[in-house]
A and B are shown apart, each in its own frame.
Chain A
């Protein structure tokens, strides 16, 4: 293909990618290096309906606005935000490693730091949900592939329902069902004959609930991609395998899976990125006491009643991008290698 044709073809997407992906990331990075200016405060008399008038500190709006107008980004803080206690907490980590009593104590102390706590759940969620949702999706695809043509439509529709429901709403429905007054929550109590049993009380149970929800909501994507892939599995090879006496399991292992391989890598890539930014179920399940994620930290830095911490949110975002990169680069390299092997 001539270069000019290539660029005419690709140009618009490259420009869009630059504008909507590269520039925002650069802007977030620049923001993450800054914190708010020192606020100018004044003490003045404040009168309100209760307690009468008292001397109260307040921000001097005029003076603070002036400083802000001179340097709208805020005060340059370098990597200060990245290493503070609410982010990578290097100083705290060092102290923990120097003073803790044994590995268990060190882990507990590190888990107490907000970013590492969020990271622990995010990584576990990604590691558990990604493979299980893919396996479930593949099994559904195999099953749908062999049901009679007449019921195929309805079965496919029902298999896709979790993907059709807005994640926030789907999670909320499950949350209410698991409420001790809800149908699932009450059933679990009845089953174990323990009126105080609730999936929302303990950390491990909350994690398990969130991950079950994640598998449920993510499986349809794998299913639909794998189902499409199954239609392209070479029939000749399959029939040859049947004649050779291969069992159903053998056929899946030696014929179906190898031909789905590029799709598996594609789904893996998408699901890793998707699961790493887990957020909605934590909100819907009111689960932040037991589970937080990196996206949740960004949200809580911005969704505040008074002071929005833009620098903090930006730093968490950049750290998240860093972790995602580490996670998906091996997969990307693998895809690239396979593609180049395919063209040879």
Chain B
């Protein structure tokens, strides 16, 4: 009797254990470096299912991945076999030749991939994109209705008119919020708006900056105008902070990341009336622009160059298991997947509207990162209101030129 019970519970335990997927990997070591957000946790966990006696799978999800990746992949053998990247973070890996072309592996194992998932540089597949991201408009339909705004705004001017009405009705003192915290977030706000004007950041084929123009001034002016509807400490609020303000019902409209959207309509995280009444739309247009003023981002994976071919093959197979159609089907809410067969959920509306509206991708040129850092530092004075647009653009140009010269992009 006793023995039976033990045997039974052992069998139950075995059945309840982690399901080990057969990924068809003979042997090898898979070591993943990725950013730290929900969708990537899903991928890392799914890839870990490929582990068995001959295959090891480890992963490191960290927001510091951009600082780690170049030194870690320069080592030979590389510390990680897989680097999960985005439009911006793939650039230094490409520049230093640290990731390998994937054409052979795609031919062998990429049956489930769609053509637009292949990131090709000079004809060679260098990364496999699996999800899209971007900042888009988030708003409270109940507040807009109460304020008498019948059609939701689609331009930044419309957003400001709606914000004025919400404030005048006394519904919210500070109806808007933006991730204007000095640094990366502040720079991203400018990049979004400037992309929306249709202008380019650099002179064609060169690292020379070209934002000192009407479009640059329009983007800056819009950023400044919006702050009049924000709480006065806007210069310290980042994307996570404004998302929390929004979930708490302190903010009526904002631009925020698609990867955060699910948390804004989750009744377990947001106030009930916020979760219930939140609607997503494409990022607003700027000035006379017609496209959503937001950068489109993709997240994808790359395979390190400085590893054995066997490990590269094992890594690619494990990642293909991670980005298989089943992942998108099982987790439709954590990301806007680019994976075959994905059915978008309610949280995906904004990013898809951005893409359908013709929003432009975040530039992949090598010097964009330097400009982004410069913008983050030099725009702080402007957004606080302590310097004008002309001065801000001159400062950005001077600081960027000094940095780009240091980095060998300009002479």
Q: Hey, which bits of chain A sit against chain B, CB under 8 A?
A: 35-39, 41-51, 53, 56-59, 61-62, 64-65, 74-75, 81, 84-86, 92, 112, 114, 179-181, 195-198, 200-201, 285-290, 300, 303-309, 311-312
Contacts and interface: CB of A to CB of B under 8 A. Distances in A.
Contact of B381 (A51, A112, A196): A112
Q: Is the interface of B mostly helix, strand, loop or mixed?
A: mixed
Contact of A306 (B119, B238, B370, B395): B370
Given A181-B248, A287-B236, 18 more contacts: A36-B407, A39-B409, A46-B120, A47-B119, A48-B119, A50-B360, A58-B122, A61-B94, A65-B96, A181-B250, A286-B181, A286-B182, A286-B238, A288-B183, A289-B182, A289-B380, A305-B184, A306-B91
B97 interface: yes
B398 interface: yes
B232 A196 contact: yes
Nearest to A307: B407
A53 B119 CA distance: 9
A45 B233 contact: no
Top 7 closest A-B pairs, CB basis?
Answer: A306-B369, A61-B97, A36-B408, A44-B122, A289-B380, A59-B95, A289-B182
B249 to A, nearest CB: 12
Contacts of A74: 408
Contact of A43 (B183, B205, B296): B205
Nearest to B185: A286
A56 B120 contact: no
A41 B365 CA distance: 10
Contacts of A300: 373, 377
B406 interface: yes
29 contacts: A36-B407, A39-B95, A45-B121, A49-B132, A49-B296, A50-B355, A51-B296, A51-B360, A56-B121, A58-B121, A59-B94, A61-B97, A75-B408, A86-B403, A180-B231, A197-B232, A200-B233, A285-B236, A286-B183, A286-B238, A288-B377, A289-B182, A289-B380, A304-B370, A304-B373, A307-B92, A307-B369, A311-B406, A312-B406
B87 interface: yes
B136 interface: no
Given A287-B236, A307-B92, A50 B361 contact: yes
A47 B406 contact: no
Interface of B: 66-67, 70, 87-89, 91-92, 94-97, 116-123, 129, 132, 173, 181-184, 205, 231-233, 235-236, 238, 248, 250, 296, 298, 338, 355, 359-361, 364-370, 372-373, 377, 380-381, 383-384, 387, 391, 395, 398-399, 401-403, 405-409, 411
A57 B387 CA distance: 33
B298 A48 contact: yes
A59 B366 contact: yes
Contact of B366 (A81, A195, A285, A306): A306
B403 to A, nearest CB: 6
A342 to B, nearest CB: 49
A195 B359 CA distance: 38
B233 A198 contact: yes
A86 B407 contact: no
A64 B365 CA distance: 16
Contacts of A57: 205, 365-366
B386 to A, nearest CB: 8
B365 A56 contact: yes
Contacts of A288: 182-183, 377, 380
Nearest to A178: B233
A305 B332 CA distance: 29
Given A48-B361, A289-B384, A201 B92 contact: no
Contacts of A306: 66, 88-89, 91-92, 366, 368-370
A130 to B, nearest CB: 27
A184 to B, nearest CB: 13
Contacts of B92: 306-307
Nearest to B235: A289
Nearest to A311: B406
Contacts of A180: 231, 233
B402 A84 contact: yes
A299 to B, nearest CB: 11
Nearest to B384: A289
Contacts of B95: 39, 58-59, 61, 64
A50 B88 contact: no
Nearest to A41: B366
A64 B366 CA distance: 13
A321 to B, nearest CB: 20
A305 B408 contact: no
A48 B87 contact: yes
B212 to A, nearest CB: 16
Contacts of B338: 49
A225 B338 CA distance: 62
Nearest to A175: B236
A303 B65 CA distance: 11
A86 B399 contact: yes
Given A49-B298, A57-B365, A59-B366, A39 B238 contact: no
Q: Quick one: which of A35, A42, A289 has the most chain B CB within 10 A?
A: A289
A303 B70 CA distance: 12
B366 A312 contact: no
Contact of B411 (A38, A64, A305, A309): A38
Nearest to B399: A86
A196 B231 contact: yes
Contact of A47 (B118, B181, B359, B384): B118
Q: Quick one: which of A38, A181, A307 has the most chain B CB within 10 A?
A: A307
Contacts of A38: 408, 411
Given A64-B95, A288-B183, A39 B408 contact: yes
A100 to B, nearest CB: 14
Contacts of B96: 61, 64-65
Contacts of B365: 56-58
Given A48-B364, A57-B365, A312 B231 contact: no
A312 B403 contact: yes
Contacts of B89: 305-306
Given A288-B183, A303-B67, A46 B121 contact: yes
B66 A305 contact: yes
Contact of B296 (A35, A50, A179, A198): A50
A136 B146 CA distance: 54
A114 B408 contact: no
B120 A53 contact: yes
Contacts of B409: 39
A229 B349 CA distance: 67
Contacts of B248: 181
